[in-house]
Every structure is written in C-alpha cells, then in structure tokens.
Amino acid sequence: MTLSSTRVLLVIAGGIAAYKSLDLIRRLRERGAGVRVVMTRAAQEFVTPLAAGAIAGERVHTDLFDARTEFDVGHIRLARDTDLVVVAPATANLMAKMAGGHADDLASTVLIATDKQILIAPAMNPRMWEHPATRRNLAQLLADGVVAVGPNAGEMAESGEAGVGRMAEPLEIVAAVERLVAARRPQDRPLAGRRLLVTSGPTHEPIDPVRYIANRSSGKQGHAIAAAAAAAGAAVTLVSGPVTLADPPGVTVVKVESARDMLAAVEAALPVDAAVFAAAVADWRVASAGDQKIKKGQDGAPQLLLVENPDILATVARRAAGRPRLVVGFAAETENVLANARAKLARKGCDWIVANDVSAATGIMGGDRNAVHVVTGAGVDSWPSQSKEQVAAALVARIAAALAAADPRGSA
C-alpha cells in the first residue's frame, strides 16, 4: 500500500540499532510518507542528526529547550502534527520512561504529549529484554495501547551474544506502519474479509537423503504477494517451499519441502476467495528416492527414473467443488513467453497467468525486480520492470477489484 500523505514522527533512541533507522526513513519516504525525526542525546552517539536529516529531508529535532522551536511550544506541535509516532530503536531506558510517564527530554516529552498511535520497535541486549522490569514496562505499554513490532532473535551487534533483542528490520517496521495506517483507511483494505492462498518458493524433490532436484526460485515474488495481500486486509495463508526469506508479517505460513507436501498444504488451506500460485514447483521427482546416499560406482552415473509431480495449479483450478473464485497461476519462461503463457492458461483451467521471462540475462530469477505480463481470456496486460513489491501491490489491487466485481458484498 502507499503511505502517501501519511505523516510519521520517528523517535530514534540510543542503541547500536539506530543505524537501521536511517534505512527505515528511506523506506518510509519511498512509500510516500513524510518523516520528521526526533533523536535522543544517546542516539547521536551512534548516528548523526545530519545523516538522519539528509535522508528525511528536513532538520532533526534533538533539544527540548530549542529557542528556534519552543517559542511556539515545539514539542507539543511535534506530538500532535503527525499521524503516527514510531520509536525505533526503542531502548529499555526509553521504554521505562514511557511506561512511567517521564518527560525529561524532547523524546520522552513528545511521547507523553502525543494523542496519536505509537509503534515501538524494541532493541536491546537479550538479558535486558528478559529482565522483569522490561517485561513489566512492555506489559504496561501494551495495556496503554502502544503497538510493538519485534524484537527478533539473532546475534547482537555490540556483544556477540545471541538471543531475542535485535530490532525488527526496516521493512518489518514499514509493514507494521502500513497495517496501522490501513486500519484507519478502509479504502486501503480492499481485501478485508477475504481469504487468500499464496504459494511461493521452489520445491525440493529428494534423490537420496543428501541430494534433491530443485530450481532457482528465491520466493521473493510470492512472499511479496502474500505481504501485500495481508496489508490489504486479507487473511492470508502462504504455503512456502524452502527459502531463506523472513516470514511476511501478518501471514499464516506453512512450510513444505516437496510438491506433494505443497499440494496437501494447499488443499488443507481451502476454501479461499482467491489463490495465487507463484511457487516454482518441480515438474518431476525421482520415482523411488534412495534411503541411503547413492555412492559412485564402477558402472558410472546412476540412472534416475523420473515421474511427474502433481499439478497443483490445475488440481485447484479444475476442482468441481470449493474452487476459489479467482485462480492465478505463474509462468516462468525462457522463450516464447506470451505463447507459452496463453497455452498454459488454457491447459490449466485457471483465470489468469502472470508470465515473465526468467532467462539468465533478465536477472529476474532470484533478483529484486520483475517484468510481468498478466494474461487472461480477455487479452494481455504487460507491466514495466519494477520491484517485486510493486508487482505484488499492483497484482493484489487487481485481485481485489476482480473479487469486488464478482461479489461486492464480501467473501464467500
């Protein structure tokens, strides 16, 4: 979704994760948000106001007693002249101040003076996160209506320790902002009340316990579609093959390995209003996978008998009962893209095919950008090259419009 005309006040507290806040500013502005920044004194030990201000496009606010702003009660204006307040990183100290209602610097004063929704992204050492005082403060903030995203598990940058305490990644925070903004804008939740199914990533078909047949799919496009659908208000089930991507926020994720596993998970997720099959499912599997590792022998390479995997897209598209109202398939081609996509549309029985050229020269397979053609019975709509997140947003908007036209009252 877009954050156009959304005003975000970002409070940056003093932790090593403050460096991520610079990318957060950039990500918010990419989506059209206006960002004002408040930095604590400790935050300025990690990143400079000049850097944050250059990315935000305006001066950073650091001092409660700033003669340039306090003549018009600047801290109150900052607290009220915004749509949402984001605290990232939210340190243990600032969370304690917020929970206790302290106001001894600009950041804490703004936070107690605002009447807007507050989103915090906690970040601290794992032992600090687990400390009873931090847990009490978090519970109080949540009871007060503050929303939290993260922290995540992982290695700590400053200590080498591992555990829960890493600040959520900028895109996770952006997704949380989008959900909060969308909740106040019904027009930005066109899939509210709908159920969507998305498949993503490759499948791994075992040859023996250590080898498998797979493809180069990264899952980036499928995961982006699931995230965009959730941001549009849908209840989303994402059936994902093996990928290295984080689970999209607000999405029910079912992780599978093989095509047969994926089909079972897909059928278990039905019924849904729409299904988007973005996964690159292996067409074949070994008829009889070895129980032990296949060894080299004097007779040369082993002969592997391949059999076809179940056709998940066609199975769902041709269901006699419980077929989703809209079934969308993907066609990753290296030649004759449109001709192959039209043939696949007819052969599979689905409603749309999203086709793209994944030959090595395009960089699409595993990359961050995509150029697709949406092929339907009515014709072809070719989209320009754009980020996979932009493709996902445009596709989800088109799905929402199609479902609304078919059933304007809501989901079945």
Give residue limits of the domains in the chain. Answer: 7-183, 189-406
The residue with greater pLDDT, 386 or 349, is 349
What is the rounded distance in angstroms from the CA atom of residue 335 to the CA atom of residue 343? 13
The reply, when asked if residue 388 is annotated as ligand binding, is no
Q: What is the rounded average pLDDT of the residues 349-365?
A: 89
Q: Are 400 and 189 in contact (CB under 8 A)?
A: no
State pTM to two decimals. Answer: 0.63
Q: Binding site annotation covers 310?
A: yes
The Cα 88–Cα 21 span in angstroms is 6
The CA distances from residue 63 to 36, 41, 87, in Å, are 14, 8, 17
Provide φ and ψ at 285, rounded to 5°.
-140, 165
Average pLDDT of span 83-103: 93
Report for 24-33, 157-166, 249-258, 265-274: range of highest mean pLDDT: 265-274
Q: Identify any residues that bridge with 382 across adjacent strands, giving them in sequence order.
A: 373
Cα–Cα distance list, 141 to 100, 205, 335 (Å) = 9, 47, 56
Q: CA 287 to CA 304: how far, in whole Å?
A: 8
* Measured torsion, CA atoms of residues 363, 366, 370, 373, in degrees rounded to the nearest 10: 100
pLDDT over threshold 80, residue 91: yes
Give dist(CA 322, CA 13) in Å, integer. Answer: 51
Q: Any known ligand binding at 277?
A: no
What's the sign of the alpha-carbon dihedral 331, 335, 337, 339? negative
Out of 77-86, 91-100, 249-258, 372-381, least confident range: 77-86
Q: How much is the average pLDDT of 281-300?
A: 86
Residue 411 — very low, low, confident or very high, per pLDDT cuts 50/70/90?
very low
Q: Give the whole-angstrom CA distance, residue 55 versus residue 346.
A: 49
Pick 168 or 412 by higher pLDDT. 168
348: annotated binding-site residue?
Answer: yes
Average pLDDT over residues 333-353: 94
Say whether pLDDT at 115 is over 60: yes
Least confident of 78-87, 290-299, 318-327, 354-363: 290-299
**pLDDT by residue (tens digit) across 178-224?**
888 877 666 667 898 899 999 999 999 999 999 999 988 999 999 99
Tell me whether residue 255 is annotated as binding: no
Of 37, 87, 169, nearest to 98 (Cα)? 87
What's the pLDDT at 298? 64
pLDDT on residue 162: 75
Is the pLDDT at 409 greater than 60, yes or no?
no
Distance CA 175, CA 180 (A): 9
Q: What is the mean pLDDT of residues 328-341?
A: 93
Q: Given 125, 152, 215, 340, which residue is catalytic?
A: 215
Averaged confidence pLDDT in the chain: 88
309 is catalytic: no
> Mean pLDDT across the stretch 304-310?
94
Q: Which two tokens stand for residue 349?
A: 């029985």
- 312 neighbors 281 (Cβ within 8 angstroms): yes
- 330 a known binding residue? yes
Per the model's pLDDT, the better-predicted residue between 219 and 246 turns out to be 219
73 pLDDT tier (thresholds 50, 70, 90): very low
30 to 165, 183, 395: CA distances (angstroms): 27, 20, 19
380-397: per-residue pLDDT in tens? 999 988 888 889 989 999
Q: What is the DSSP secondary structure assignment for residue 46, as one 8-state letter?
A: T
CATH number of 7-183: 3.40.50.1950
Tell me: is residue 313 an annotated ligand-binding position: yes
- What DSSP state is assigned to residue 120? E
Range with lowest mean pLDDT among 164-173, 228-237, 369-378, 403-412: 403-412
Contacts of 334 (CB under 8 A, 6+ apart): 357, 358, 359
Instruction: Write the CA distances from 326 to 271, 322, 352, integer angstroms.
Output: 12, 11, 8
Phi-psi region of 260 (alpha: psi -120 to 50; beta: other; left: phi over 0): alpha
pLDDT at 238: 97
Task: Quote the pLDDT of residue 160.
Answer: 65
Q: Give the tens place of pLDDT for each residue, 44-57.
A: 999 999 999 999 99
More confident call, 148 vs 155: 148
Structure tokens at 227: 């995230």
Mean pLDDT of 65-90: 72
pLDDT grade for 283, boundaries at 50, 70 and 90: very high
The closest of 258, 261, 308, 317 to 283, measured between CA atoms, is: 308
Report the alpha-carbon distance of residue 410 to residue 401 in Å, rounded. Answer: 12
Of 242-246, 298-302, 307-311, 333-337, which one has max mean pLDDT?
Answer: 307-311
Q: Is 247 annotated as a binding residue?
A: no
239, 280 contact by CB (below 8 A):
no
Specify the residue for token string 């066109």: 190
DSSP 111: H
CATH of 189-406, one of 3.40.50.10300, 3.40.50.800, 3.40.50.300, 3.40.50.970: 3.40.50.10300
- Cis bond leading into 151, ω under 30°? yes
